[in-house]
């Protein structure tokens, strides 16, 4: 009897795992977007926009941005210096945004040209909040190329007038893990855009972009 129960549990577990994997593959196939993408080496081809968004990323205990965040910040800095955008939005956890602000102001960006979005706790929230705050504006999102598919899909589904610019300058640690993680993050993006359609944890009224 116990053997049959264990066998049933194993079969059920394997079946659920297979179904979960198939759903993830389905979501990855569905994450399509017609938005253009560029690399940081193609800024001459990029049209001007109203804002460049820097999504939050790891900051070390010392306060130094990780390579991934540093590359995003340098991408935004280049667009700003080349007059492609007049404003930079730092969107992530407060600590990430503070590190980004210090990085940019140390390199000559005026504090008046930096907006802080502490409510952008994930990519969905960032795109949602920026689009809601500035509905008629055009955006460029600085992120790694491995995130283009998911970010571009969120941009399209949430109605943002924008596109991605890739800024892969460094060799990143845990690259395989990050790609694996983003593969499964497609589930969350598809469900949020097509089923649950949640509002961000923090509304613009409670936590404005400032």
Q: What is the predicted pLDDT for the residue at 1?
A: 63
In CATH, what number is assigned to the domain containing residue 176?
3.40.50.620
Residue 118: closest CA among 94, 134, 95, 101? 94
Of residues 188, 193, 122, 117, the one with CA closest to residue 154? 193
139 in any annotated domain: yes
Give the strands of the sheet with 87-91, arranged side by side: 37-39, 161-166, 138-143, 51-55, 87-91, 114-117
Q: How does the average pLDDT of the chain come out, rounded?
A: 91
Q: How many angstroms separate the CA atoms of 69 and 99, rounded?
A: 9
Q: What is the mean pLDDT of residues 110-136?
A: 98
Q: How many CA atoms lie within 13 A of 122 on its CB side?
A: 13
Helix extents (H) in the chain: 2-30, 67-81, 94-105, 123-133, 148-157, 175-191
Top pLDDT among 86 and 40 is at 86
Residue range 1-10: average pLDDT?
A: 73
4 is a domain residue? no
Split into its structural domains, the chain has a count of: 1
16 within some domain: no
Higher pLDDT, 90 or 41: 90
pTM: 0.89
* Paired strand residues for 55: 91
Host domain of residue 105: 31-196
């Amino acid at each position: 009897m116990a053997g049959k129960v264990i066998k049933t549990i194993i079969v059920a577990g394997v079946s659920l795992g297979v179904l979960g994997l198939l759903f993830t593959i389905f979501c990855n196939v569905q994450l399509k977007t017609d938005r253009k993408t560029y690399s940081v080496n193609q800024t001459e081809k990029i049209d001007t926009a109203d804002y460049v968004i820097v999504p939050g990323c790891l900051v070390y205990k010392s306060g130094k941005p990780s390579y991934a965040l540093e590359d995003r910040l340098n991408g935004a800095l280049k667009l700003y210096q080349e007059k492609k955008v007049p404003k930079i939005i730092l969107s992530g956890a407060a600590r990430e945004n503070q590190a980004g602000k210090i990085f940019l102001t140390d390199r000559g960006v005026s504090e008046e040209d930096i907006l802080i979005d502490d409510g952008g706790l994930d990519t969905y929230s960032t795109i949602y909040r920026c689009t809601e705050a500035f509905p008629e504006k055009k955006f460029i999102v600085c992120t790694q190329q491995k995130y283009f598919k998911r970010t571009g899909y969120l941009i399209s589904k949430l109605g943002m007038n924008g596109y991605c610019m890739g800024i892969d300058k460094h060799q990143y640690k845990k690259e395989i893990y990050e790609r694996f993680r983003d593969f499964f993050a497609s589930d969350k993006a598809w469900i949020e855009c097509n089923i649950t359609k949640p509002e961000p944890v923090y509304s613009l009224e409670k936590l404005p972009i400032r």
